[in-house]
Structure 1
Amino acid sequence: MTEEVEQKRPTLEGEAALRLWRQGPDAWNSWIDQHPGWNISFEGVDFSTERDPYGNLSFADYHFGDGNVNFSNATFGKGDVRFFGAIFSGDNVDFSGTNFGDGNVIFYDTAFGHANMYFAGATFGTGNVYFSDAKFGNGDLYFYGTNFGDGDLYFYDTTFGKGEINFSQTQISNLHFSPETTGTSHIKAEGLSIKGRAIFNLPPSAARLKSFNLHSASFDGPLTLRGNLSIIPDLRGTRYSHQVDLSDLKVKLPRISPTLGWPPKLSLVAEDPQDGARLRRLKEIAETNKDHQAALRFSADENRAKRWIETSWFGSVLDMAFSAFSNYGQSILRPSFWLGVIFALSMYAYKAKQIPKLATDGWADWVQAALLSASNSLPFLPQSRELRTGALQALYDTTDPSSFIDALMITQGVLSFIFLFLIGLGLRNRFRL
């Protein structure tokens, strides 16, 4: 909407708006149907004397048309404020600086359309604030500097569009953020302060998030983060005094194709150079809370994020190998498979280099090749030396075969040691207490 068009919109405000509101939702909605493009302004209005005999203040089922709606710096006094079932269809809804007083504030099942919602600097009292089942479109939602008092803030089964959600510098007693869907691209909560429990239970649609920023937030109660994200949430600088549960948080490191250069980068590169530090913080939190499996996941992605950026070229190549052959010590199957491959290839090579005159028509030669390969793969077993000597004698008629066989045995021994180490590392990480 252009500024010129906005200036042409008439505004229902002040005492005229109050008189129409007092007549109830039917009269109000009828007027809106006839004047859908008008702006509505209750800016600075004191509603504390407008409550019903039960102490409630209701905007339930009110339709606010296609214009902007302004409740900035209004005062609602003590008691519940109800907006459930209300419909906003304009571009902006402004509750900046509003004082909601002591009582529940209910935006249950409210439709906000594609409006930008502003709660910056608003103050809530001792009641709870409900945005459960509310429907937000593609507008932004700003709670910057909002004080939610001593009540809880609920976002159960809320629907969000593509707009930004901003909780930066906001103070909340307890937060329950469990939306049904979210198409939002950014959740900002820098400097967020939560006195009690905080739950971020993100739906599958949160995979579309481009950033989730909790930098410098403080949590004085338990914090739970759940969801499958395609980005790395930023918890750097956070302060917490209770357990942080990241066991159900799965993240995917965004990576892109490398640019041309020398020496060449042999794999994908982290899209954001800061992701390594973000993952390091997630790993630190998981380790502090004794969540070893989550710490392993974050540590693996941290190494991937540092590859080619913080890690040297040779170190990055070794990191690629560590990832490919054992998933950073998280897999037992991968190194076991490669140990078997080394065993089989070595056995075939030993048999292929057997002295022809010693070859037989049966399986005895293959058995000897298998014993020689096994003795090199498992040299720490007490029988390995005796088995190796017997196999060499049977295959080559000597215990000192050719230089090729010596080199092959050394290579097999080194590779087997590496894969045995990776198997042991995987077992340790799997059964760590």
Structure 2
Amino acid sequence: MSNDNQSEKKTLYNLEAIKLFLQGKDAWNAWVKANPEANVDFSGVDFSLCPLTKDLEENDFSGFEFPKGKVAFYGTKFGGGSVAFYGTKFGGGSVSFRGAQFGDGNVSFREAQFGNGAVVFSGANFGDGDVSFRETQFGNGKVTFYQSQFGDGDVDFREAQFGDGDASFFAAQFGDGKVTFNKARFGGGNVTFGGTQFRDGDVTFGGVQFGDGGVTFSGVQFGYGIVSFFAAQFGEGRVSFDKTQFRDGDVTFSGARFGGGDVSFMDAQFGDGILDFSKVELKRGRIDFLPTKCGPGKIGFCSVNFDGDIVFNPADVSEAAAIDFSGAKIEGALSIGNVETNCVVDLRLSSIKHSIDIDNPKIGFKKEHIENGYEPIVYRHLALLPYRRAAKHDAPSCFRRLKKLAKDAENHEKMLDFFAKEIQSDYGRGITGSTLTMFLLYDYLSDYGRSIKRPALGLAAFTVIYALLYSMLSVAGQGDLADFWGGLAPAMTLSIAHTLPFNFGSRFASADVINYLYGESSYSWINTTLHWLTISQGIIGGMFLFLIGLALRNKFRS
């Protein structure tokens, strides 16, 4: 019994630990077997200055086994060479590399095994060599890399396995090398990368499996490399990318699966790369993009499968190349209520169970680029009016789908808006020739039945024009007997009478004014011209009155 107590209290410390380490793996493991409960303490050791270790090119603990007590490398300086803990087995006690300083050589903990005690790398400083925790197994204790610093070498956590304790990389800093957690597995604890800074290397979490604890990347700053969560699996906890900054590399969550917790990208900022959420699955929870900022890259949600709600109301997607929800299956609610973009939102072949929130979006479409710097006024297919063609040939079908969704939501105003853009985006493609000219007139004169102001101004303008024509015709018919300016007032009366022919008093006013202006004219062409003028004014006036009535109907339609 006394021997057991001595074993539990024994600590292999500093110089003794160094001497035993230098004897090699077999001697070390034999000592551990004889002292299974001991503590091991290398705290404060400087391998580069210690006379026994300063000439070592590598500090190699590969295959070493540590006892069940505490293991401390607190503040240890490993020098400039490589450091290897390849296949090292730690006991059940806590393991601390807090404040440890590694040089510019490679550092490997590949296939190392930690027990259920806490594993601490807080404040550790890794040099510019590669760092590997590939296939490392962590126990159920807390694992923390809080404020640890990695150099410009690659950092590899592929297939690492974390237990049910919390895993924290909070405020860690990575260099320009690649950082990969592909196929790593986290247990049921919380996982946080909050405040972590990545530089310009690619960052990949492909196929990673998170447990049911919360996962946070809030405040993370990614560099200019690719950021990938391809086929990542998230558990039932909340997932947060709030205030995360993505640079200009592509960002992909394609094929990722989220559990029942909410997913938030609130105040996140995306750069110029592609943002890919294609084939993402979301169970029950809600995913928020409010008020996310997106760059000029393509935003893809095609073929997603959401059982929960999605709120896509980013603060700025005005420069996005495309917003693609084609083939999406959304059982919850979809809100794009405040989207403002110059590219069409593609919801073709989508299945949306609930009514879509489209009260306030401003969705446009990009015009075709004109080569060689020519003026963007194009005359094509015998069109008599200028127009610019839509850059995407499928824009009309995208607006057609939006129009149907607006109709299903009984939003008449947005239905008219999407109908107008459906036609406008088909100029010069499906709509050509005289048909195109008619649609252009409808567009310019009434904004597709939505403007009262345009046809009202047109009606007023043509009323004045015809008044001038009537007065000029009077001068031509009666010579010096008629004064052009003096006849302008009665000519205006005649013009208004033919503009508003449904007014009962217009007939009498028209007859009196004609007799006053033209009298017994001996020129037959005067009467013929007058007839053609009144007929044409009646047609044009009726057209403008119809457009005004149509706009009033659309405006007050419930």
TM score, norm. by length of structure 1: 0.89
After TM superposition, the structure 1 = structure 2 runs for residues 198-217 of structure 1, keeping only pairs within 5 Å, are 198-204=310-316, 206-217=317-328
Among candidates 257, 264, 269, match of residue 154 of structure 1 = 264
Q: Which amino acid aligns with 1:247?
A: D
Contact 1:10/1:39 (CA < 8 Å) preserved in 2? no
Aligned to 1:418: 543
Q: Indicate how the Cα distance of structure 1 residues 261 and 406 shifts in structure 2: closer, same or farther if over 3 A, else same.
A: closer
Contact 1:25/1:61 (CA < 8 Å) preserved in 2? no
Q: Which amino acid aligns with 1:37?
A: D
After TM superposition, the structure 1 = structure 2 runs for residues 141-220 of structure 1, keeping only pairs within 5 Å, are 141-172=251-282, 173-204=285-316, 206-220=317-331
Among candidates 490, 507, 512, match of residue 390 of structure 1 = 512
Contact 1:28/1:62 (CA < 8 Å) preserved in 2? no
**SS of 1:25's equivalent?**
coil
After TM superposition, the structure 1 = structure 2 runs for residues 58-73 of structure 1, keeping only pairs within 5 Å, are 58-73=168-183
Contact 1:112/1:136 (CA < 8 Å) preserved in 2? yes
Q: Which amino acid aligns with 1:59?
A: F
- Alpha-carbon deviation of 1:37? 2.2
After TM superposition, the structure 1 = structure 2 runs for residues 40-189 of structure 1, keeping only pairs within 5 Å, are 40-48=155-163, 51=165, 56-172=166-282, 173-189=285-301
| Pairing 1:235–2:360 present | no
Q: Work out the CA distance in 2 between the residues paired with 1:31 and 1:209.
A: 37
The alignment yields a C-alpha RMSD, in angstroms, of: 2.6
- Alpha-carbon deviation of 1:127? 0.7
Contact 1:159/1:180 (CA < 8 Å) preserved in 2? yes
- Alpha-carbon deviation of 1:175? 1.0
Q: Work out the CA distance in 2 between the residues paired with 1:339 and 1:90.
A: 62
Q: Indicate how the Cα distance of structure 1 residues 28 and 39 shifts in structure 2: closer, same or farther if over 3 A, else same.
A: same
**SS of 1:96's equivalent?**
coil
Aligned to 1:370: 492
- Alpha-carbon deviation of 1:321? 0.6
- Alpha-carbon deviation of 1:24? 2.7
- Alpha-carbon deviation of 1:153? 0.9
| Greater Rg over alpha carbons, structure | 2
TM score, norm. by length of structure 2: 0.70
Q: Work out the CA distance in 2 between the residues paired with 1:324 and 1:261.
A: 17
Contact 1:358/1:394 (CA < 8 Å) preserved in 2? no
| Pairing 1:350–2:467 present | no
- Alpha-carbon deviation of 1:319? 0.8
Among candidates 404, 414, 436, match of residue 294 of structure 1 = 414
Contact 2:379/2:387 (CA < 8 Å) preserved in 1? no
| Pairing 1:408–2:533 present | yes
Percent identity of the aligned residues?
29
**Structure 1: segments with no counterpart, 5+ residues:** 1-8
Q: Which has the higher contact order (CA 8 A, sep 6+)?
A: 1
Q: Indicate how the Cα distance of structure 1 residues 119 and 293 shifts in structure 2: closer, same or farther if over 3 A, else same.
A: same
- Alpha-carbon deviation of 1:312? 3.3
Among candidates 116, 119, 131, match of residue 22 of structure 1 = 119
Q: Which amino acid aligns with 1:374?
A: I
Q: Indicate how the Cα distance of structure 1 residues 11 and 299 shifts in structure 2: closer, same or farther if over 3 A, else same.
A: farther
Q: Work out the CA distance in 1 between the residues paired with 2:153 and 2:298.
A: 31
- Alpha-carbon deviation of 1:356? 4.4
Q: Which runs of at least 4 in structure 1 moved beyond 3 Å after TM superposition?
A: 9-13, 15-19, 28-35, 257-266, 356-363, 398-401
Q: Work out the CA distance in 2 between the residues paired with 1:356 and 1:31.
A: 100
Q: Work out the CA distance in 2 between the residues paired with 1:189 and 1:48.
A: 33
Of Structure 1 and Structure 2, the greater helix share is in 1
Q: Indicate how the Cα distance of structure 1 residues 90 and 17 shifts in structure 2: closer, same or farther if over 3 A, else same.
A: farther
Contact 2:262/2:287 (CA < 8 Å) preserved in 1? yes
Q: Work out the CA distance in 2 between the residues paired with 1:240 and 1:361.
A: 66
Q: Indicate how the Cα distance of structure 1 residues 10 and 31 shifts in structure 2: closer, same or farther if over 3 A, else same.
A: closer
Q: Work out the CA distance in 1 between the residues paired with 2:533 and 2:465.
A: 10
Q: Which amino acid aligns with 2:538?
A: G
**SS of 1:156's equivalent?**
coil
* Greater alpha carbon shift after TM alignment, 231-240 vs 349-358: 349-358
Count of equivalent residues: 417
Q: Indicate how the Cα distance of structure 1 residues 181 and 310 shifts in structure 2: closer, same or farther if over 3 A, else same.
A: same
**SS of 2:339's equivalent?**
strand
